[in-house]
């Protein structure tokens, strides 16, 4: 059975690129642009990995990571943060929130797929 990946990314081009790349590598993908839907969608979809943008409209990706990790059912699901938010101390803050992985945008295909395979 294909591994399931929830892609939380508000940028249409990035979301499409991530999803197309993952589908081409035989993953089942659920794209999501609105962070306010993450918890409900994650519970319904039961992902094996969540790819999370940090800078989202309406809600912070950091808050979403903390909420996913606080949920008894979803807390074991690894989170790969993919963000342009790459200043000093940001990776540490993102990992402290609960993300197991971190990639700075722009993301190259090789490191992206390597990170995905590491977590699924």
State the chain's mean pLDDT as an integer: 95
The CATH code that applies to domain 4-119 is 3.40.50.2300
Q: What pTM was estimated for this model as a whole?
A: 0.95
Q: Is the pLDDT of residue 89 over 90?
A: no
Give the Å distances, CA to CA, from 1 to 13, 50, 100, 111: 28, 17, 23, 24
Give 5's Cβ-side CA count (13 Å radius). Answer: 28
Q: Is residue 116 very low, low, confident or very high in pLDDT (cuts 50, 70, 90)?
A: very high
Examine the pLDDT at 85 and tell me if it is beyond 90. Answer: no
Q: For 43-67, how does the pLDDT look when each residue is reduced to its tens digit (9 = 90+)?
A: 999 999 999 999 998 999 999 999 9
SS3 91: helix
């Amino acid at each position: 059975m294909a591994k399931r990946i929830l892609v939380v990314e508000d940028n249409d081009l990035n979301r499409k690129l991530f999803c197309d790349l993952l589908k081409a590598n035989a993953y089942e993908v659920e794209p999501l642009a609105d962070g306010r839907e993450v918890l409900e969608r994650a519970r319904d979809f039961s992902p094996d990995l969540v790819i999370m943008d940090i800078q989202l409209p309406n809600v912070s990706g950091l808050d979403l990571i903390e909420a996913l990790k606080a949920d008894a059912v979803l807390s074991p699901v690894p989170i790969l943060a993919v963000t342009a938010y790459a200043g000093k101390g940001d990776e540490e803050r993102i990992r402290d929130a609960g993300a197991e992985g971190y990639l700075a945008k722009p993301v190259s295909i090789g490191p992206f797929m390597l990170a995905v395979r590491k977590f699924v």
